[in-house]
């Protein structure tokens, strides 16, 4: 007996689910993926980042949006969810499927999990680069001190560096502020011997 083919969902079914549910979902090629149910460490990192950035950016006319804010990604329709997104200009929204979608983030942040890390580091970031306003992206590990920082250069290439020393800090050029790893991982349970050296920047 042959297996039943996996059901494909219409875009309208996805929009109806998004509007009627408090959970987060993403849609791609007829498949719907749940983004709910984060771990304690994932949630703590999001809270730490929101508190830190909101305090540092309140005088810079920047806004921090949580994970339920949808982002317009031109090459990955209809929209995506980042864990945090920041705008340092007047936010611009587009209505897609009956909901408001942010079109001009300057910084997007993803807190990685085992189930999404490959996607977040690969295809998702590749498509994030199609957002014209985007200047920076952070990928943050939740089980060890490790942040990958991508920064858009003047020639539209992207530099990156990996920071995995708990005593280190990152300059965020899109925000004009310094983010320390101790601020990111405050109250997060980490392995006892987690600090390593900071690797040098590279450009792609």
Tokens of 110: 């993803």
pLDDT at 195 over 60: no
> Domain for residue 75, yes or no?
yes
Output the CA–CA distances (angstroms, integers) from residue 58 to 53, 85, 135, in the order listed: 8, 15, 19
> Domain for residue 69, yes or no?
yes
State residue 190's pLDDT score.
82
Confidence of residue 201 (pLDDT cuts 50, 70, 90): very low
The residue segments making up the domain with residue 163 are: 39-197
> Domain for residue 78, yes or no?
yes
> Domain for residue 95, yes or no?
yes
State residue 123's pLDDT score.
82
Q: What is the pLDDT of residues 84-101, one digit of tens each?
A: 999 989 999 999 999 999
> What's the mean pLDDT in 41-64?
90
State residue 114's pLDDT score.
72
Longest dimension (CA), the chain: 65
Specify the pTM. 0.85
Task: Give the torsion sign (CA, 131, 105, 80, 40).
Answer: positive
> What's the mean pLDDT in 55-59?
81
Q: What is the pLDDT of residues 111-131, one digit of tens each?
A: 987 766 666 676 888 999 999
195 Cβ partners below 8 Å, 6+ apart? 145, 164, 165, 166, 167
Total domain count for the chain?
1
> Domain for residue 183, yes or no?
yes
> Domain for residue 24, yes or no?
no
Question: How many Cα atoms within 13 Å fall on the side-chain side of residue 80?
Answer: 25
State residue 115's pLDDT score.
63
pLDDT at 163 over 80: yes
The percent of residues above 90 in pLDDT, for the chain, comes to 59
> What's the mean pLDDT in 129-139?
96
State residue 69's pLDDT score.
94
Top-confidence residue, 122 or 63: 63
> Domain for residue 55, yes or no?
yes
pLDDT at 183 over 50: yes
CATH number at residue 144: 3.90.1570.10
> Domain for residue 16, yes or no?
no
């Amino acid at each position: 007996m042959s297996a039943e083919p996996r059901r494909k969902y219409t875009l309208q079914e996805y929009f109806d689910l998004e509007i009627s549910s408090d959970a987060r979902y993403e849609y791609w090629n007829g498949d719907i993926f749940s983004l709910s149910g984060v771990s304690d460490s994932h949630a703590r990192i999001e809270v730490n980042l929101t508190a830190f950035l909101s305090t540092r950016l309140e005088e810079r006319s920047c806004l921090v949006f949580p994970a339920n804010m949808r982002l317009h990604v031109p090459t990955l329709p209809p929209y995506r969810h980042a864990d945090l997104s920041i705008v340092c200009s007047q936010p611009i929204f587009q209505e897609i499927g009956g909901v408001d979608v942010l079109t001009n983030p300057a910084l997007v942040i993803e807190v990685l999990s085992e189930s999404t890390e490959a996607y977040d580091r690969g295809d998702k970031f590749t498509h994030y680069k199609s957002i014209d306003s985007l200047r920076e992206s952070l990928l943050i590990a939740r089980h060890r001190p490790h942040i990958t920082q991508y920064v858009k250069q003047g020639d539209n290439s992207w530099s990156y560096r990996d920071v995995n020393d708990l005593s280190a800090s990152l300059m965020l050029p899109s925000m004009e502020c310094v983010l320390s790893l101790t601020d990111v991982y405050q109250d997060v349970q980490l392995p006892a011997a987690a600090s390593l050296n900071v690797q040098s920047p590279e450009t792609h």
